[in-house]
Amino acid sequence: MIYKMLLFVIIGLTSTLAEAQFIKQKSVNAQIGFGLSSPYNSNDDVVDDGFFAQGEFILKVKSWFELRPYAAVILTSTGGEDLNGNPTDETATSRAFLLGGKVRLKAPIPFVAPYIESGIGTSIGKFETFTAFDNIDKSGIIYHIPVSIGFEFGKNNDVDLGLSYFFQPTVKQYAGAFAIGISFPLND
C-alpha cells in the first residue's frame, strides 16, 4: 500500500516537469472575499466571520473542464454571538493557509458561465471548534475538501463570483467565503 502511494506521489511530482499538450490555455485567478467558519454540530446557529483570499493557477483542458491548483488564506474570529445576535460560548475559528487542487466543470457559455468544482487539499494553521458537542483546539496540518459553486462573467469568463467552502472533518468545521475574483491569461 505504501509503495503504491509513493509511486503515485513520484509520478505526480515528475509529471509537473513535462509539458502537457492537452492544456489549451494557462491563466491565474485572484480572489478576495468575506470569510466564514462554522461548526458541523452546534446548539446555536454560530458562524464566525473574517477575511478570505485565494490565488489559482488555471489549466484549461477543454472549454468546460479546468484543473486548478490553489493557495488561499482564511482568517476568522469569533464575535461571541450567534446569527440572531444572541450571546453564545460556541465558536468555530480558522486561521489557516490552504493548499490543494480542484477540478472545475462549467457550462461554456459566453458572458455568464455557471460552474461547480471540488478537489482535495491541506489546511495549515490553528483551528478551534468549541460547541456543546465538540471541544477541539488543534494546530498543525489537516486535510480539507473544497467545494465551490458560482458564475464566471464577461466575454472571456474572466470575472468570477462564487461561494467556496472547505470542509475540514478533522476539526469538525467548515470554512468558506463569498468571493469575487478576476483571471489574467498567461502568455506561453
20-77 tens-digit pLDDT: 567 888 999 999 999 999 999 988 889 999 999 999 999 999 999 999 999 999 999 9
Q: What pTM was estimated for this model as a whole?
A: 0.84
pLDDT tier for residue 110 given thresholds of 50, 70 and 90: confident
User: 112-150 in b/e burial notation, b at 16+ Cβ within 10 A?
Assistant: ebebebebebebebebbbbbeebeeeeeeebebbbbbeb
Integer CA distances (angstroms), 108 to 19, 141, 157, 186, in order = 25, 36, 9, 20
How far is residue 28's CA from residue 181's CA, in Å, rounded to a whole number? 10
Q: Given this model, what pLDDT does residue 187 score?
A: 77
Residue 13 reports pLDDT greater than 80: no
Please give the pLDDT value at position 84.
81
Average model confidence (pLDDT) across the chain? 90
Residue 81 and residue 45 in contact, taking contact as beta carbons nearer than 8 Å: no
Query: Is the Cβ–Cβ distance between 156 and 113 less than 8 Å?
Result: no
Q: Write down the pLDDT at residue 139.
A: 96
The answer to whether 177 touches 74, Cβ cutoff 8 Å, is yes
C-alpha cell of residue 16: 509537473
Domains by residue range for the chain, with CATH? 24-185 (2.40.160.20)
User: Which helix (H) or strand (E) is 103 found in, with range?
Assistant: strand 91-106
CA–CA gap between residue 102 and residue 66 (Å, rounded): 8
* Neighbour count for residue 13 (Cβ, 10 Å): 9
Query: Residue 15 — very low, low, confident or very high, per pLDDT cuts 50/70/90?
Result: low
Residue 93 confidence (pLDDT) above 60: yes
Report, as an integer, the average pLDDT of 83-96: 89
* pLDDT value of position 3: 66
Assess whether pLDDT exceeds 90 at residue 1.
no
